[in-house]
Amino acid sequence: MSILEQFRLDGRVALVTGASRGLGQAMAVGLAEAGADIAGLDRTPDCEETCAQVEALGHRYFNLSMDLLAATVDDLNRAVAQVVEALGRLDILVNNAGIIRRAPALDYTEADWDEVIAINLRAVFFLSQAAGRVMASQGSGKIINVASMLSFQGGILVPSYTASKSAVAGLTRALANEWAPLGINVNAIAPGYMATENTAPLRADPVRSRAILDRIPVGRWGEPDDLKGAVVYLASDAARYVHGAILPVDGGWLAR
């Protein structure tokens, strides 16, 4: 098989959380462009735009409406079972859904802490567990977590987000150690400063925005489409010997 053919995802099924917009939508469409059918899990009742883009590429789209904050472990197990029933298999899981709450650490509320940890970490583990059981039974699979620059750094005014994304990096390595012998690759993408809803307050602040741009060697905010190449690579046979990696897609931010 040629190297370009190894990047193809024909006949595979990917489950992407937070697929209705932003990074999740771009990664779902990127995986479909490489040949995969897509299941999109989102708290939004429908993902019409993502569905339309995937189906326009000639691939199936299965929508799962679920609020990860309220989801139980049983709910996550059922979601994975629904994907397998609807699309026939599950080869790729992209744990993209996440939230952020900004406040000084001295004033941070229990609710803000618990909600961020529930979605950004708890749901990631238990959805990975459910998908991992399916992948282990078939002897192959790819789990791709979405980490962050704050998996490496402390950040400002985001203690629960930093804690959750640092934990996602550690969890990625831990699962890779256990599941590599089962044929499952577990890796993560660490997006840099991307133009999404989560960063809207930063981009609207001229001082913070300028400080961020001045540090990014490429000189611009990232766009959701900038993650397509990374997610397709990690989901493909081209990355078959990549386990436990945290891949920065950051315009050179960490290099500074």
The count of other CB atoms within 10 Å of the CB of residue 133 is 12
The 8-class DSSP code of residue 45 comes to S
Residue 155, by phi and psi: left (phi above 0), alpha (psi -120 to 50) or beta? left
Length of the chain: 256
SS (H, E, C) 189-251: EEECCECCHHHHHHHHCHHHHHHHHHHCCCCCCECHHHHHHHHHHHHCHHHCCCCCCEEEECC
The strand order across the sheet containing 37-42 reads: 61-65, 37-42, 13-17, 92-95, 141-146, 184-191, 246-249
For the chain, strand residue ranges (E) read 13-17, 37-42, 61-65, 92-95, 141-146, 184-191, 246-249
Catalytic residue among 61, 161, 193, 233: 161
Instruction: Report the distance separating Cα 206 and Cα 249, nearest Å.
Output: 23
Active site residue 108: no
Buried b (16+ CB within 10 A) or exposed e, 75-84: bbbebbebbb
**Catalytic positions:** 161
